[in-house]
Amino acid sequence: MKVSIVVISKDEPALEETLDAFVPLLEGELDEVVVVDASAGRLDSIRDLHPWVKWVPFSPHPEAGVTIPEQRNVGVAEAIGEVIVFTDCGCVPEPGWLPRLLAPILDGSEVVACGRTGSRGRSVYDGTPDGAPLDDVIPPEHVEECPTINMAFRREAFERIGGFDETFQYGSDIDFSWRLTRAGMRIRYVPDAVVVHDWGDHRRQNRRAVAYGRARAHLYRKHPDRIVGMLRDDPIVAAYPLFLLGLPLTVRWRAYPLLLAVPLWRNRGKQPVRVVVDHLWFGVGVLSELGGVGSSRGNRTRGAVERVKA
């Protein structure tokens, strides 16, 4: 069974380190690496140093600022693998990553699997798929969602649900995993299949939190049946936007900001200030999406199924 790793990129020089880390994998289960590059030639020096990579230039729609789902769909269409593996620029796999991630797919027990993503520095994104550090939880056997930063699936799963939804800017990978599970496919969690990622400084993480907030709001707009579960399993989507909307109450109730003491206490031992700041920026993203500021684009690109068949 052929295996392809797909990496999408725009202007990430960290792509070079990721590609270098894949070289030893070519002696095992890996058959090819596909890079879908939207840099308009700015990463050609990296391409030239890695002639064994299948390099796919990508020209975005003139009005498209973020083309992540389109690039993912192109990558799958260009790949030869019956099994597709996604990870991100700047990710470096730990020893044993690929065979561990692929094991439940290659043995026929699963069609989708995801691993754990660690961080080179302190980051709120270090841990299991729900963000909790691995040492604090019993890893689940299956999860409801996972990002493409560390994910593998059989091509048939991709084709069955029609690929990634190109109306998203960010969050199309979570939508993809939700649609997989809705179609009856389980996502196997493999905690010892680890990639390590540099999440950047605080400013970059804050920008990421805003983007994730926008994406989450768009996800619940598309999947309104999940809103009831959101209040139980994903409360920050409602709690932090409501807190931000209530900030004018500080004029009359100066103790209002002390409400943040609750999440600070609950996240003690997990960078509490960093987590709360991240969630506040996440709330800004939710509000901006709901208010139509920087909202996800509409159906102006051709769909995943059309692109895959092209």
Round the average pLDDT of the chain to a whole number and report it: 88
pLDDT at 200 over 50: yes
Q: In this structure, how many other beta carbons lie within 10 angstroms of the beta carbon of residue 151?
A: 21
Residue 24: how many CA atoms within 13 Å on its side-chain side?
11
pLDDT at 232 over 80: yes
Of residues 301 and 11, more confidence is placed in 11
Amino acid 300: pLDDT: 40
Amino acid 137: pLDDT: 59
For 246-267, the pLDDT digits (tens) are 999 999 999 999 999 999 998 8
For 76-126, the pLDDT digits (tens) are 999 999 999 999 999 999 999 999 999 999 999 999 999 999 887 666 666
Of residues 305 and 286, more confidence is placed in 286
Domain boundaries along the sequence of the chain: 3-201, 202-290
Amino acid 166: pLDDT: 92
Are the C-beta atoms of residues 102 and 115 closer than 8 Å to each other? no
Amino acid 126: pLDDT: 61
Global confidence as pTM: 0.87
pLDDT at 207 over 70: yes
Where b means 16+ CB within 10 Å and e means fewer, 71-109 reads bbbbbbbbbebebbbbbbbbbbbeeebbebbbbbbbeee
For 128-187, the pLDDT digits (tens) are 444 444 444 577 899 999 999 999 999 999 999 999 999 998 999 999 999 999 999 999
Lowest-pLDDT choice from 70-74, 130-134, 135-139, 191-195: 130-134
May I ask the CATH architecture of the domain 3-201?
Alpha-Beta Complex (3.90)
Calculate what percentage of the chain has a pLDDT beyond 70: 87
Stretch (H or E) spanning 22: helix 15-22
Amino acid 297: pLDDT: 53
Amino acid 128: pLDDT: 47
- The Cα-based distances of 142 to 104, 116, 191 in angstroms read 12, 13, 11
Amino acid 241: pLDDT: 96
